[in-house]
Amino acid sequence: MLPVAGVQLATAAAGICYCDRTDIALIELSAGSTCSAIFTQNAFCAAPVTVAKEHIAQATPAYLLINAGNANAGTGKTGLDNANACCELIAAEMGCKAEQVLPFSTGVIGENLPVDKIKTVIPDLKLDLNPHHWQAAANAIMTTDTVPKGVSCQVSIANQVVTITGIAKGVGMIRPDMATMLAYITTDAKIEKPLLDQCLVNAANVSFNRITVDGDTSTNDACVLAATGQSNVVISELNVNDFQQALNKVAELLAKALVRDGEGATKLITIKVSGAENSRESDRVAYTVAHSPLVKTAFFASDPNWGRILAAVGRTGVKDLDVNKLEIYLNDVCIVEKGGRSATYTEESGQQVMQQTEITVDIRMNRGAASSTIWTCDFSYDYVKINAEYRS
C-alpha cells in the first residue's frame, strides 16, 4: 500500500481480547485535512458510532482511534463514557481537542471497553506513528478476518498524481446500509467537505452498499474518507469525475475483498439483475437470491441446483412477473429460459461453472431498463463454526 502525504499510522497490542497480536490502530491526519464519514443505520448503534457522529459535527478530525476485540456496543451510558474517555486520552497525549478524535470499535457486543488497557499503550502509539504503517494498521483492526485488506490507487488529475489508499475489515455480520463494518480511505487531494461528503456517498453506493455475507447489519459499521490536500491538487466539480472513478475503484476492491474473505467463504458470487422495471425491483431480486441459504449452500457444494435460484427469484414478490420472459445464466451458461430449464443446458456445463471460485449469476428479467449488481459469497460449514464459537 502506498503512503499518503499527510497521513501517519500506528499500532499497538493492548490485550483487549487477543493475547498474541496488535489490536489498536491510530490514524493521524495532518492539519488542514477534511474528513467525511458515514455510519451504520442499525438503531442499536454502538457507543463509538454515537460519539464519532457528535465529534465530526463539532470539529475537523485529527485522529482516528480504532480498537478490535470489543465492539463497545449494547453498553449504555458506560459505553459512551468509555468511548469519550479514549478520545480524551488521545487528545491529552497528542495535544488536540477530544472532539478532534473519532473512536471506532469492532468485536464482541455487550462487553465494556477496557479503557485502562488502551490508556497503557497510547504513548506507544505516539512513538509508532509512521506514513508506511498501512499494512500494520490493516492487521490490527481485524477480528474474524483471515487476511488484512488494503488497496492503493494513483490517478492523474490536472497532470499531477493523486494517491488514494484505504484499508477495511469485516467478514461477518455484513449487509451494510451505508458502508462496511470498518473502512478508512485517505487521499492527498484537496477537497472541500461538501464535495468530499458527496464523493464518499457515491463510492459507498457502488461498493460497500452492494455487498452481503449473511444479511446482518452491524451495530458498528463506519466508513471514513479523509483528504489531506498535501498534493496541492484541488478537486472541484470540474474534475471530480476522474477522482470519483478512482475512489470507486478503491472502494469496490475493498468491498469485494471483504466478501471474498467472508466467514468460511470459498467463493465470490456476483449477482447481476437486468431488465427490471426499477432499481428497487432489481435490488430485491438480487438480494433475495444472495440471502437464500439454499442458494448459498449449493454454491459451497458446487452443486448446479438451478431450481434454488429459480425459486428465490419467484418468491421476491415482483408484481406481474412473467416467468416465460425470464432468463438466468451461470457465467455464460444459460440455465433457465421460457419458464423452465434451458434446452441448451447440461448438468456437466453447470457443474463446470459451479466448481469455479468466482461465479456470476446473471438474471435477465426482460421487463424494463433497471439493473443491479451485488457481491456475496457461499455458506460453508466454517461459517456456522466461526459464529457458534465466536465468544469461546
To which residue does cell 480504532 refer? Answer: 66
Q: Buried (b) or exposed (e) across 97-136, using 16+ Cβ within 10 A?
A: ebbbbbbbbbbbbebebbbebbbebbeebbebbeeebbeb
Q: Is 370 exposed, middle or buried (0-12, 13-18, 19+ CB in 10 A)?
A: middle
Helix segments in the chain, DSSP class H: 47-58, 76-94, 115-128, 134-140, 193-205, 240-260, 279-291, 293-300, 306-314, 347-354, 381-388
Annotated catalytic residue within 11, 106, 180, 288: 180
Q: Are 267 and 357 in contact (CB under 8 A)?
A: yes
- Which amino acid belongs to residue 105? S
Nearest to 185 by CA among 37, 48, 323: 37
180 is catalytic: yes
Nearest to 187 by CA among 155, 210, 159: 155
CA–CA gap between residue 19 and residue 37 (Å, rounded): 31
Catalytic residues, which ones? 180
